Amino acid sequence: MHAMILLGGPGSGKGTAAEMIRKSTDYVHISTGDMLRAAITDGSPIGREAEKYIADGELVPDDVIVRIVDERLDEGGKGDAYIFDGFPRTLSQAELLDRSFEARDGNIRHVFYLKAPNDVLIMRLTGRRICRTCGANYHIVNVPPKQKGVCDVCGGELYRRADDEESTIGHRLDVYEDQTRDLIAYYEKRGVLVPVEASTTPKATMDVIMVTLEACES
Ligand code: AMP
């Protein structure tokens, strides 16, 4: 079992890159944000616990996050290869992930650090729209749907995440910067950190990631 981690601020394109990689490889995409939003929609106990933190732009407690990640890892996947998107977010989550992987004889091969300036992140977050039915991502300027408010893939309704409101975004960016500084140093020291310029197009980000993955496999 092995994994890559996508690190980067909200709006850095982790979800988009993860989906592009998933479609062209055997990697399973694990997004803690998506899993938490699904739990909220289902009204499950985890969803009820997480809801308040997400609405305030705060991090959900580590024990909740590690529980959902472990449950997902136990389900397995095709190639037993995973892309973590939005996890780990803190040094303590990274240490818990290490323990989880040690117990499963796994290793973390790459940590891609998607870097983009805050003004780019803010522009992407305020324009982001998501399909309520299939989860496809759009941007009102960069990736507009053919018909306003309607998903091209499934015809579902597009919505704006509550935590993508201007009032929450600033706080989310602060929380991100605060929590990930140590995380970046942690993976840098281990020699697995790969910085990726992520302020241009999803394809450019994806190309850098794929070159690294292919170099590792050859
Ligand atoms: P995201 O979709 O990754 O932007 O996550 C949305 C929100 O879900 C975050 O602002 C947090 O409240 C929560 N969340 C997602 N992943 C984590 C995580 N690994 N640790 C703590 N909270 C998380």
- Residue with CA nearest ligand 1 atom 8: 33
Q: CA-CA distance, 216 to 110, in Å (whole number)?
A: 10
**What pLDDT does residue 218 have?**
67
**What pLDDT does residue 179 have?**
87
pLDDT in 10s for each residue of the chain, 218 residues: 999 999 999 999 999 999 999 998 889 999 999 999 999 999 999 999 999 999 888 899 999 999 999 989 988 766 789 999 999 999 999 999 999 999 989 999 999 999 999 999 999 999 999 999 998 889 999 889 999 999 999 999 999 988 888 888 988 999 898 888 899 999 999 999 999 999 988 889 999 999 998 888 76
**What pLDDT does residue 93 have?**
95
- Residue with CA nearest ligand 1 atom 6: 33
Assess contact for 173 and 12: CB atoms under 8 A: no
Select from 100, 78, 131, 110 the least CA-distant residue to 187.
110
Give ranges for CATH 3.40.50.300 in the chain. 2-116+168-217
**What pLDDT does residue 209 have?**
93
Q: CA-CA distance, 61 to 54, in Å (whole number)?
A: 11
Measured in angstroms, how far is the CA atom of residue 171 from the centroid of ligand 1? 13
pLDDT tens track for 3-43 = 999 999 999 999 999 999 999 888 999 999 999 999 999 99
Measured in angstroms, how far is the CA atom of residue 32 from the centroid of ligand 1? 6
Q: Name the residues annotated as catalytic.
A: 14, 89, 128, 161, 172
H helices of the chain, in order, are 14-24, 32-42, 45-55, 62-75, 91-103, 118-127, 166-190, 202-217
Measured in angstroms, how far is the CA atom of residue 61 from the centroid of ligand 1? 10
**What pLDDT does residue 60 have?**
95
User: Residue 74's CB: how many other CB atoms inside 10 A?
Assistant: 8
Assess contact for 46 and 64: CB atoms under 8 A: yes
DSSP 8-state symbol, 100: H
Model confidence, pTM: 0.89
Q: CA-CA distance, 180 to 12, in Å (whole number)?
A: 14
**What pLDDT does residue 166 have?**
86
Q: CA-CA distance, 17 to 8, in Å (whole number)?
A: 11
**What pLDDT does residue 162 have?**
86
| Domain 2-116+168-217 CATH (choose: 3.40.50.1970, 3.40.50.300, 3.30.70.60, 3.40.190.10) | 3.40.50.300
Select from 112, 64, 129, 130 the least CA-distant residue to 92.
64
- Residue with CA nearest ligand 1 atom 11: 59
Measured in angstroms, how far is the CA atom of residue 37 from the centroid of ligand 1? 9
Q: Looking at ligand 1, which atom is closest to the CA of residue 89?
A: 19
Q: CA-CA distance, 35 to 179, in Å (whole number)?
A: 21
Ligand 1 pocket (Cβ < 6 Å) reads: 10, 32-33, 36, 53-54, 57-60, 65, 86-87, 89, 93, 163, 172
